[in-house]
Every structure is written in structure tokens, then in C-alpha cells.
Structure 1
Amino acid sequence: MGCGVKLVEINRDTTICISIALKPGNFGAVVQNAAYKAIGLNFIYKPFGIEPSDLPHAVKAVKALKIRGCGVSMPYKVDVMKYLDKIDEKAKKIGAVNTIVNSNGTLEGYNTDYHGAKIALEKIFNPKGKTVLIIGAGGAARAISLALKELGAEKIFITNRTQEKAESLADEFGLQAIKFEDIKKTKSDLFINATPVGMNPENDKMVIDSSFLNNFKAVLDVVTAPPETLLMREAKKKGLIVIPGYVMSLYQSAKQFELYTGKEAPLDVMKKSLIDIWGIKDW
């Protein structure tokens, strides 16, 4: 991949890590495999697409096949919890898991989305004392909500097409739920898309009308494929600060790497792998 990395031969001793999602992407495979090769680890990482009915079987396979780590993506971050042996305290508080670590047959769930969101926000647009509007009420919204609360956001609005989900999450995290149709008259410092809207192959879609972007100063889009979504492009046109999903995902993936391997993540290598593969220039 042009990263100056050492190639590792796959054999019977190779440690396997995977990810599961309804619509799997290549992000994890790119950054994790680059990191393994860079420090000479006999590890490989492979994303899998699974149907909702296969979720319990996939988790059983992680244990049966002695798979070391498993990333969990939309829409399984909440449902997967009931199939695990242990849940990390932070993930328990969030109510969602995006990382499973298999320690000698014991499956423990973690949430590294929280770490990724917290670091990305601190580096690009610190929400301390600011107002925020989140669209979405799934696992990503849960992790981001806790990160925002811990970073000192003054007020957090949340909405979802299913109003009951937004109200439930608002009650749980101390947020303020608003109706989806009220987005157009809600102003805040930061807008967060915590839904898959805009993800490949439907990358011509936006979760809100572009005219509503005038209500915000900054945008965070959790979508990583494509690396620059329509929402991000429209936000840049209007002069807004943009926090790309790949920045949040890079830091959460680095935390996953450390949980899987017990070693410090080679962050520069992981970052360069994205630049080489996707041609990202605006970092």
C-alpha cells in the first residue's frame, strides 16, 4: 500500500480479527491491516456483512473460532450486548458496544466510538459551553452523547425519525428531544449526523436539507464511506467547520487495535493508510 510496511505471512498461527455490519465498509480493514504489518504482528482483519437474524450465530462464531477481536457496526451495537459474557463499565453506561474482545473464550464488549468522538471533537471543535443537535438514536448517538456530556456541552438536542427513540435516549442521557420537523428552526453550534444517511451506495443523500446548515457553525458526520459525504461538501461550501467521520473512526480504531493486540497503535501508519487508499488531502 506504499506505507513502507513489512508483510506478514498468513498461517495457522495468524490471529484473526473481524468486523460485522449490515453494510460492511473497508475502513477497519485498511487501517488495522496497515497497523499489523507496520509492527510485524501476525494478525489479519476482515469485515463481514451479516443479516440481523444471523447476529447471535456470528457472535458464537467469534468464540468458537477463537477470533481475537470483532468490530460491531450499524445496526448491531445495542442488540449485540445480550450475547456477550461481560460488558465494560463505560460501554454499559453508553448502552452500546462496537468492539468485542475474546479473552480465552470470554467475550467482553467495549465502546471505542466514545473514545474516537471525544478525541475528534477536542481536536477540531471542542463543544465545551456550546449547543449541539444530534440526528440519530442508535449506538453512535449514544457514544457521542456521553462524549459531549463529559466535554461540557451546554445543551444537547436530539431528534430521530422515530420520535420515541429520541425521547428515550434524551431521558437516559439528560438531553432535550425535539421533533424531526423542528430541525429547520433549531439553531446550535454543532450539528451531528449519527445515522447512516449519505453512506455508499446512497451517497447522493443528506439527512437534512442543505438550507438548514445555516443554523450551525460546525458539522460532524459519522459516515466514513465515502470519506467526504454530500453533507460535508455542503457544509464546507457554507464555511462551516467539518469533523469528518474518518477522523473519529481513526481514533476509535486505534483504541480497538490496542484492545486486540495489547500494543500501542501506530497512529501515523494508520492515518497514512487512509491518505494512500482514499487520497484524503484535507486532514
Structure 2
Amino acid sequence: MKPLIGRETTLCMSLSGRPGHFGSRFHNRLYELMGLDYVYKAFTTTDLPAAIGGIRALGIRGCAVSMPFKETVIPLLDRLEASAAAIDSVNTVVNEAGCLTGYNTDYIAVRLLLEKHEVDPQTPFLLRGSGGMAKAVVAALRDAGFVDGTVVARNEPSGRALAESHGYGWRPEIGEAQAPLLVNVTPLGMEGPEAETLAFPPPQIAACIVAFDVVALPSATPFLRAAESMGKRVITGHDVVVLQALEQFVLYTGRTPDENQVKEAAAFART
């Protein structure tokens, strides 16, 4: 049984431009199932330095970091673990006695999903996006052995730099380009003003074999719904968020839940 919240309770949190409830529900459900004296709360902020200072000063054990803070948080930390240092993007902060270390569990989740879905590294891909999450996904593709890829990003400095640093091509628009693997790493299709926007045009979706969308809310984005209707294989943002949240949970608590506990927490977080 989970202890009642008290003076010894360990606090974990998240920082996001658009706070959701998945992380809070996932982590808190696992705390309950495993009887851990932890609590998790989602936040947003307009003052990132003050928020990170609060984590350090108040002894908050861990913090998940989402858009738009994955890169701007880096100068505020004490050190970066290899997964974050390699791509200059942080999605997890762990506090060890006031020393803040940045990790990137998105990278780990994407690598695991590419393996689980047996996506052949010889598959050419088109990836749309060039932000912090895109860095994690592109690095995961490169390290999984994908050699033929193109980053599509209107922002030429960030898009070209991301592509060229990993040995891929860059283009500002999709145009007539097609690929067997399509990957969306933008907010297109996310709950909000772009909820009904397709991340890729219908002709590109029709020509692909695998559709991968990192948007977690909703997990059935317009892009993936279109892909499924055409009989394509899909990898969802929900898959990504569960695996990366599990990695965070282990970093924060030092405990690894069993498979059934993870499934129950993920199902609970979706409700």
C-alpha cells in the first residue's frame, strides 16, 4: 500500500509548454501499485531558470522536460549523461543532492521501438521536424543503422544542421519526396490548434510502408488514422511515451516495475 503523503514523500514533476495528464497518471499509478512514497505533478512555466532553481533548492527528485524546454534547459544543469550530451537535448532531469543531470529517454524509447517493430535499417525515411525531440529520433535512427534519410524542416539552419550532423539530407518542404518510412516529429496532429492537420500529404502516406508519429495526445493522429486506413504499419507516440516514462521512473526510484504493472499504469494513464 502506498504511504500517505507526508514530510518524507519524494516529489517528481514535469515541465511542458502544454502540460498533459499522462505522465502524472502513469507515475502516480506505479507509485500506488509498488507502494512507493512518491508523488508526481505536472507544471508549466514562463520562467525556466526559476523553475530549475526550485528543483535544486527544494530537493525535487526528478523532472520530465517536454517542448519547448528540451534544449533551453541544458545551460541550467550541472552535467549531461551521454544520451543527452550526444544530441544536445534533455527530456529528463535527475537531482542527486543538488546536482542536476540531464538524460534523454526519448532516444532509448525510439531505439527500442524500431527494434520491436522490426523496421529494416535499409529502409529510407523522411522525417519531419528539427526540434529537441527530432534530435533524439534522428540520433536513434542513425545509431540503429539507418543510412538513407531526409530531414524535412522549414527552419534551414536547424534542419540542415540536424541532417548533416547525422549524415542525412535536408529539404525545406516535402514536395514530391517519398519514402517507405515516414516519421513525424512536429506538433502537427497534436491536441490544440493543429489537431486536424496531416503531418504528411495523402500521396506520401499512400506510398509508405511504415508510419511513425511521436505525437502522444492523441495517439491516433490524423496522420496515423490515414495510414491505418491504407493498411500501413504504424508506430504511435503512445508507444514512445510509455517506454520513455518507464525509463524515467527507473531513474527516479531505482525500481523496475514488472510488465503487468507497466501495462496497468499505461492503461490507467490513457483514461
Tell me the TM-score normalized by structure 2: 0.95
Alignment correspondent of 1:15: 10
Q: Is the 8 A contact 2:15 2:42 kept in 1?
A: yes
Q: Is the 8 A contact 1:198 1:223 kept in 2?
A: yes
Give the 5 Å matches for 1:54-93. 54-93=47-86
Deviations 1:115-137 (A, max 9, x none): 11111111124241111111110
Determine helix, strand or coil for the equivalent of 2:86.
Answer: helix
Alignment correspondent of 1:208: 200
Q: Is the 8 A contact 2:147 2:168 kept in 1?
A: no
Q: Is the 8 A contact 1:198 1:231 kept in 2?
A: yes
**Greater relative CO, 1 or 2 (CA 8 Å, sep 6+):** 1
* Partner AA of 1:130 in structure 2: T
Alignment correspondent of 1:3: none
The Cα of 1:167 is off from its aligned counterpart by: 0.3
Determine helix, strand or coil for the equivalent of 2:145.
Answer: coil
Mapped partners of 2:10, 2:77: distance in 1: 20
Give the 5 Å matches for 1:41-190. 41-51=36-46, 54-180=47-173, 183-190=174-181
Equivalent of 1:255 in 226, 247, 254: 247
Q: Is the 8 A contact 2:181 2:210 kept in 1?
A: yes
Determine helix, strand or coil for the equivalent of 2:36.
Answer: coil
Deviations 1:38-66 (A, max 9, x none): 11110111111223xx1111111110111
Q: 2:231 matched to 1:239?
A: yes
Deviations 1:93-139 (A, max 9, x none): 11101000000000000000001111111112424111111111011
Identify the range of structure 1 (219-228 vs 110-119) with the bigger mean alpha-carbon deviation: 219-228
The Cα of 1:276 is off from its aligned counterpart by: 4.0
Equivalent of 1:225 in 217, 225, 232: 217
Q: CA RMSD in A?
A: 1.5
* Partner AA of 1:79 in structure 2: T
Alignment correspondent of 2:270: 278
Deviations 1:199-222 (A, max 9, x none): 112322222323321231111111
Mapped partners of 1:250, 1:36: distance in 2: 15
* Partner AA of 2:270 in structure 1: W
Distance 1:146 1:127, change over 3 A: farther
Alignment correspondent of 1:29: 24
Q: Is the 8 A contact 2:129 2:151 kept in 1?
A: yes
Pairs aligned (count): 270
Alignment correspondent of 2:186: 195
Q: Is the 8 A contact 1:127 1:148 kept in 2?
A: no
Mapped partners of 1:127, 1:57: distance in 2: 44
Determine helix, strand or coil for the equivalent of 1:18.
Answer: strand
Mapped partners of 1:184, 1:190: distance in 2: 16
* Partner AA of 1:150 in structure 2: D
The Cα of 1:8 is off from its aligned counterpart by: 3.4
Mapped partners of 1:23, 1:213: distance in 2: 28
State the percentage of identical aligned residues: 34
Tell me the TM-score normalized by structure 1: 0.91
Alignment correspondent of 1:266: 258
Distance 1:258 1:93, change over 3 A: same
